């Protein structure tokens, strides 16, 4: 077995792609599906004036619409058929995930394995349709209230808008599921990834153009690019970091002999919450400015104007609230997605235990103790990564969001996709070694 593993490590290189026919088909399918998604972000919604909407969007680009536009690959600023993107599905998934912790029926379904997951996925789809319908109707009413955007306002426009936008979201949800099953990587994550990455070349070109005209110095541009590379390396290091708890299994009787107990590890990620905390924090902080921008009130009270100004990008109050919300949601969402008691019960059921810790409640308390402390590190990491671009924007005037939530998503999805590609290559290499070993064994037998 050791020699097989050494041979596998020696043979695993880029030349393995030439023989990986199934992997190449999966990659081509994924690229084709993402191309379909990108084309859909350029098909405008029927019944609107795209030029008038683009002018109106410019005044809201700094609010929550700018955040949604980033996740949708620019479909919001063009008011395309994919303007809602995949966000209703993500919101529904998060809501269902939160409800599994408080609703006994959903909690029981979660423990029922594959059949329970299918039911929960179906509830998530229903939630996606409901949230998408509410958001699409709100968009239709907002487009009608704006000047010269809706060419023929009325109920027909509202119904057609809701059907088109919700249909676009459901198509993207289906496309993501197809990528996951027939392509490579997580389909939903790759759709968001493609939307973010698609905007980077234009943003980089715009920054270089500012450097050419003298609006930004060459030193600042080089410095920002160096910082971006260092931040990416930092994200990769933390996202791959784990706190591994040693798990031991006792000796057991197998037939007439005693089998030796084995050991394994329980991996705990430093950043268990992923990118959810900065997404929640950004949405909540940008919501007041967005509502104020859409408000028909021409004059706001003095206190409201001062509060909105203090919540602008780069302001001390904005930085403080952003960091506090990220830290809060890091602990809150980690508590939702990881239950130390369930983990301890599963270990006890299978005979596993942590050396020196009594199985059951003591094990759950110990896992919670470790998880709380590594979540502190994960929260600090998220705060650093998300606040660094805010400082760069405030100090250097770089006109695009380099880092933060978008960079976390891009790096995380890239790591996950590369890991899946490596898994396919390793599986193929093992199959090749097994076939080769059988052929050699057959020859020796003859």
Band (4; pLDDT cuts 50, 70, 90): very low
How much is the pTM?
0.79
**In the numeric block, which tokens belong to residue 159?**
């119904």
Give the start-end residues of each E strand in 213-291: 242-248, 252-254, 257-259, 263-269
* pLDDT for residue 205 is more than 70: yes
pLDDT in tens, 320-342: 888 898 999 899 888 888 888 88
* Mean pLDDT, range 369-391, rounded to an integer: 89
**Predicted pLDDT of residue 299:** 57
Rounded CA-CA distance 409/197 in Å is 10
409 secondary structure, DSSP code: H
Find residue 254's DSSP bridge partners. 257
Positive or negative: CA dihedral 192, 194, 199, 205 = positive
Residue of 125, 86, 119 lying closest to 103 (CA atoms):
119
Mean of per-residue pLDDT scores for the chain: 79
Residue of 401, 409, 400 lying closest to 382 (CA atoms):
409
Find residue 268's DSSP bridge partners. 243
* Mean pLDDT, range 194-223, rounded to an integer: 79
pLDDT in tens, 45-87: 888 888 888 777 776 655 566 767 777 777 888 888 988 888 8
**Predicted pLDDT of residue 135:** 87
* Mean pLDDT, range 430-446, rounded to an integer: 60
pLDDT in tens, 71-80: 777 788 888 8
With residue 26 as reference, give the H or E element that holds it: helix 21-40
- DSSP output for 300-341: --HHHHHHHHHTSTT-HHHHHHHHHHHHHHHHHHHHHH--HH
* pLDDT for residue 415 is more than 90: no
């Amino acid at each position: 077995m050791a020699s097989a593993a050494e041979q596998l490590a020696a043979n695993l290189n880029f030349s393995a792609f030439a023989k990986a026919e199934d992997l190449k088909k999966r990659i081509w399918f994924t690229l084709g599906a993402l191309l379909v998604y990108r084309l859909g972000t350029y098909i405008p919604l029927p019944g609107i004036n795209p030029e008038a909407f683009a002018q109106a969007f410019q005044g809201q680009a700094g609010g929550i619409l700018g955040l949604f536009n980033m996740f949708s690959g620019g479909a919001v600023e063009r008011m395309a058929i994919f303007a809602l993107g995949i966000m209703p599905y993500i919101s529904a998934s998060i809501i269902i995930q939160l409800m599994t912790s408080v609703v006994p029926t959903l909690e029981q379904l979660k423990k029922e394995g594959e059949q329970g997951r299918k039911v929960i996925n179906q509830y998530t789809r229903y939630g996606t349709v409901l949230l998408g319908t509410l958001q699409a109707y709100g968009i239709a009413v907002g487009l009608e209230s704006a000047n010269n955007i809706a060419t023929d306002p009325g109920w027909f426009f509202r119904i057609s808008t809701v059907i088109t936008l919700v249909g676009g979201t459901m198509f993207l949800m289906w496309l993501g599921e197809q990528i996951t099953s027939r392509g490579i990587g997580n389909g939903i994550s790759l759709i968001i990834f493609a939307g973010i990455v698609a905007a980077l070349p234009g943003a980089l070109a715009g920054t270089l153009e500012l450097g050419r005209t003298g609006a930004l110095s060459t030193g600042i541009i080089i410095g920002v690019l160096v910082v971006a590379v260092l931040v990416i390396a930092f994200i990769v290091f933390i996202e791959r970091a784990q706190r591994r708890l040693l798990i031991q299994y006792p000796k057991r009787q197998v037939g007439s002999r005693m089998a030796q107990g084995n050991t394994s590890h329980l991996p705990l990620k430093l950043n268990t919450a992923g990118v959810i905390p900065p997404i929640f924090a950004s949405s909540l902080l940008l919501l007041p400015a967005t509502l104020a921008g859409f408000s028909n009130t021409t004059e706001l009270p003095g206190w409201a104007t001062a509060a909105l100004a203090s919540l602008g990008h780069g302001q001390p109050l904005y930085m403080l609230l952003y960091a506090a919300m990220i830290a809060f949601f890091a602990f809150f969402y980690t508590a939702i997605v990881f239950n130390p008691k369930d983990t301890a019960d599963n270990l006890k059921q299978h005979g596993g235990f942590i050396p020196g810790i009594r199985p059951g409640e003591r094990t759950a308390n110990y896992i919670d103790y470790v998880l709380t402390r590594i979540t502190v590190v994960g929260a600090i990491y998220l705060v650093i990564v998300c606040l660094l671009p805010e400082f760069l924007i405030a100090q250097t005037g770089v006109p695009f969001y380099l880092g933060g939530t978008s960079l976390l998503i891009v790096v995380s999805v890239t790591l996950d996709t590369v890991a899946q590609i490596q898994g396919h290559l390793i599986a193929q290499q093992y199959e090749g070694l097994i076939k080769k070993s059988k052929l050699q064994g057959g020859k020796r037998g003859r």
